[in-house]
Amino acid sequence: MSSDSKVLRVLGVDIAGVFDETPKGRERLVLETIAECMGRKIELELAPYGRHLSYFGISDKFDLVATVPPGGKVSGFQSKSHIDYQNVVTTLKDFTGVISSVSDLKGLDVVSFKGARSMLAGLEDAIPTFKTYQEIAQQDLHTRMLMFKRVDAVISDKYIFFSHTKRLQRLEPDRKQLFRETKTHEVFEPSKFTVSLKNQKLRDSFNRCLELRRQEIAKINDDFIVPL
C-alpha cells in the first residue's frame, strides 16, 4: 500500500454494491467524495465482511476501515455516521401477503445475511415462527433463492440485494427467472454505519469533510438505486 499523504488507504468489504469498481459501489462513492474534500484519493483493499474489523486492528497498512456496524468492535478513532444501511424484506412481486413487521413472516421460508438475528430488532424472537430460516454470508445466493422460489422472503440491505441481482442479470442474461419482478417491505429502522481511523487528526478531518459534503452524499444515495 502507498505511504503517500495524498492517499487514504481504505480497508473495505467485499460485498456487491458497496465497493465495486464498475459500476462504483455506494459506500465507495461516499468515501471518494469525503476523501476529495480531504485532498486525498482512496486506495482500496477488500476483505470479507466481519473479518475486515479484525484485519484493521492487526495491520498498519490502512488509514481507515469502512462499513463499521453499530456496536462493531474495532480499534482506532470512530467517525460520525457517513452511511445508512437499510435492511428490508424483499419478496417476489406476486407475493400477496402484507409484511409490515417481522411477525408477518410467520410460516414463510426466509433467508438473511450472517449475524442478522443478533443485529435486527425483533428478528431473534420471530424466527421460531418462520417455516425455515437460514443465514448465508454469500449474498448473491439470496437473489438466486428468491428468484427460483426456494424461499419466500429475503432480509437484506436493499442496495446490496439490488446490486447482486443486477450483477447476476448481467452475467446470466438467459436465466429468465433472474428477471422476475420484486417488491420491498419496510420493516426495520436504518442502521447507521461509521468508519474507524488510525489517528485522531485524520478522524477529525474526515468528520469535518463529511459535514461539508452531506448534500452530495444524499444525492449519491438518491441516485444509486432504481426499481428492479
Confidence of residue 20 (pLDDT cuts 50, 70, 90): confident
Report if residue 1 sits inside a domain.
no
Residue 57 inside a domain? The answer is yes
Sign, CA torsion 135/138/143/149: negative
Q: How far apart are CA 32 and CA 83, in angstroms?
A: 13
Residues 179 and 215 in one domain: no
Q: Are residues 74 and 106 in the same domain?
A: no
Buried b (16+ CB within 10 A) or exposed e, 180-208: bebebbebbeebebbbbbbeeebbebbbe
Reported as a pLDDT band with limits 50, 70 and 90, residue 163 is confident
C-alpha 214/C-alpha 212 separation (Å) is 6
**What is the number of domains present in the chain?**
2
Same domain, yes or no: 79 and 92: no
Query: Looking at residue 111, which CATH number applies to its domain?
Result: 3.40.190.10
Q: Which amino acid is at 14?
A: D
Pairing of strands 64-68, 191-197: antiparallel
- Owning domain of residue 219: 7-84+192-224
- What pLDDT, in 10s, does the model give residues 177-192? 999 999 999 999 998 9
Say whether both 95 and 113 belong to one domain: yes
